[in-house]
Amino acid sequence: MRAAHKLTKWHFPMPNERTNNAMWISPFITKSSSVSEIMFKVMLALVPGIALYVWYFGPAILVSLTLASITALATEAAMLTLRNRPLKPFLSDNSALLTAWLLALSIPPLAPWWMVVVGTAFAIAVSKHLYGGLGNNPFNPAMIGYAVLIISFPVHMTHWLTPHALGGVELSFAEQLGYIFNGTLPNGLTLDAVTMATPLDTLKTQLHLGLSVHDIRDMPIYGRLAGKGSEMVALGFAIGGIYLLLNRIITWHLPLVYLGALFATAGIFHLIDPAHYVTPLFHWFSGAAMIGAFFILTDPVTSPTTAKGKIIFAVGAGMLTYLIRAFGGFPDGMAFATLFMNICVPLIDAWTQPKVFGKKGGGK
């Protein structure tokens, strides 16, 4: 999530508010928020989801977050130096850190260290600075980094830690570090013994094997709404998203319309054939739906600028997410839906610009 270097909040006084015996007749700027402050608040909103992630899956995700953060700052500094740009204020605006966090939270926590470094460096150097830096990139950098990793290293991107709730083989923090940095596991364990496919991936695989949704949902990896552990992590990101809405960091258009479009599309297919299509709530609390709705789609640089455009953008992203999940080659469609809709943003903005007062036929 990135924005211009200054965003402001406006105060609209009540008609009877006075100062120095004069009536307030216009909006007045009461406080300005810098990019670093906004990015910090967005990162703060990610903390509930991260805390639940650690609680259910262990501390390995903290290693990925740390690696991604260091790589993002180092790459940002290197690119600014190569472009002859000052390190301040760009290095301290927290935009690179936010990109790093979103990418780290999108890939398996046991991903080898070099994968985290490659994905993060590509996101910052290519998808951000290649287009001119903060505010100029047409694609969400974190999702570009994710797309590069899942296309280049699909096997590594399928090994997700088993939640504690399943009571399987669990690795200590030291053992997790050993695999991340050395690729070794203790006592002859294999990676398949301590990891599993995601609930979405398992659902798609088992459906292809001929099982019904009812039989699949009886598998031990599933909870009441979606996957055990992952549904609570999604709830944590939803709580963080509500914090962003209450603090007016984001508007309701993108997250609520996206979730509504995903719910409606999944609901239609579920009503038609409930034996082969899961409930809409399963899609809400599986995969990257919640973090995508509140933290990825809401990037102000790569999303439309008009309210009507945001609604169109969110509807398209919600429908595409479901279609990729149900019929595509990847278990989760959030990243690719976001990137596809990023391509459409210039056209959406052109179509939805409001008319200029006093002119006919639009804003040209």
R_g (Cα) of the chain, nearest Å: 22
Beta-strand ranges (E) seen in 293-338 are none
Token match 């990610």: residue?
46
Whether residue 13 has pLDDT greater than 50: no
69-90: average pLDDT: 90
Name residue 326's beta-bridge partners.
none
The whole-number pLDDT of residue 258 equals 98
Do strands 160-161 and 195-196 pair parallel, antiparallel, or not at all (unpaired)?
Answer: antiparallel
Element (H, E) at 341: helix 334-352
**Which residues lie closer than 8 Å to 148 by C-beta, 6 or more apart?**
118, 119, 122
The whole-number pLDDT of residue 126 equals 95
Query: Up-side HSE of residue 7: CA atoms within 13 Å toward CB?
Result: 14
**Distances from the Cα of 252 to the Cα of 90, 258, 351, angstroms:** 28, 10, 21
Q: Token pair of 138, please?
A: 């047409």
Chain center to CA of 77: 24
Residue 105: which of 306, 335, 326, 314 has the closest Cα? 335
- Maximum Cα interatomic distance, the chain, rounded to a whole number of Å: 80
C-alpha span between 18 and 4 (Å, rounded):
32
The whole-number pLDDT of residue 347 equals 95
Chain center to CA of 170: 27
**Chain segment 160-200, per-residue pLDDT in tens:** 988 876 766 778 889 889 899 998 888 778 887 788 888 99
Query: How many C-beta atoms lie closer than 10 Å to residue 88's C-beta?
Result: 9
Given a contact cutoff of 8 angstroms between Cβ atoms, the answer to whether 314 and 299 are in contact is no
332-360: average pLDDT: 88
**Chain segment 236-278, per-residue pLDDT in tens:** 999 999 999 999 999 999 999 999 999 999 999 999 999 999 9
Model pTM score: 0.87
Q: Give yes or no for a cis peptide into 300 (omega within 30° of 0).
A: no
Given a contact cutoff of 8 angstroms between Cβ atoms, the answer to whether 161 and 107 are in contact is no
The whole-number pLDDT of residue 4 equals 43
C-alpha span between 300 and 83 (Å, rounded):
24
311-326: average pLDDT: 96
The whole-number pLDDT of residue 72 equals 96
Whether residue 358 has pLDDT greater than 80: no
